[in-house]
A and B are shown apart, each in its own frame.
Chain A
Amino acid sequence: MIGALLEIAAALILLAGLVFLMFGTIGLLRLPDLYCRAHAATKCDALGAGLTLLGLAMMASAPGDALRILALIALVLVASPTAGHALTRAAWHAGVRPWTAERRDDGE
């Protein structure tokens, strides 16, 4: 009984993570400039991958596997925002200007 409930909870968490990964992809494809895209992609990536892996950790049969998946979650939660910040900071220093309503017509 408890095992079945745990499996249902794990499946729901995993599905929520997949939905967040899909939001990240939609943001990456649809938003107007690099900074908006990085905003959507890095945050949805960290949360989506974290939730998906958390659901997987609840399903894993061996305790060692679950522990390694938790280590992977910690890695993703640290690495994804750091990578996004480094990339947008580099783009800012390289001269990529953000999108504004005034600059909308002369391209990106």
Chain B
Amino acid sequence: MTGTLAGLLWGAVFFLLLNSLACLWRVLAGPALADRILGVNVIATNTMVVLALLAVLRGQGFWLDIAIVYALLGFTLTLVASRLVETGRLAFGERTR
């Protein structure tokens, strides 16, 4: 894709990268573990949108498959990390708390 629309989409890509950089502050500053996981969750969403933008910009459909897998991985990561926040461990079984 070329022209004005491509310029808009490239601008969106760099805007979302800056957005993710800002979210990194919440990941580094915390204070709780759940705050960091929330920041990572937002960064994962932004990255997924960037991948979809690249798919349309390059006209290559396989980027969308990567974006779908990335979204699923981000979702799974948040669920597993929530389990870590609640019980202090990742494995299934009896709760320690």
Residues of A within 8 A of B (CB): 7, 11, 14-15, 18, 21-22, 24-25, 28-29, 34, 37-38, 41-42, 45, 49, 52-53, 56, 59-62, 64-65, 68-69, 71-72, 75-76, 79-80, 82-84, 86-91, 93-94, 96, 108
Contact = CB atoms under 8 A, between A and B. Distances in A.
Interface of B: 1, 5, 8-9, 12, 15-16, 19, 22-23, 25-26, 31-32, 34-35, 37-39, 41-42, 45-46, 48-49, 52-53, 55-56, 59, 61, 64-65, 67-68, 71-72, 74-75, 78-79, 81-83, 85-86, 97
B67 to A, nearest CB: 6
Contacts of B37: 87
B10 to A, nearest CB: 12
Nearest to B64: A68
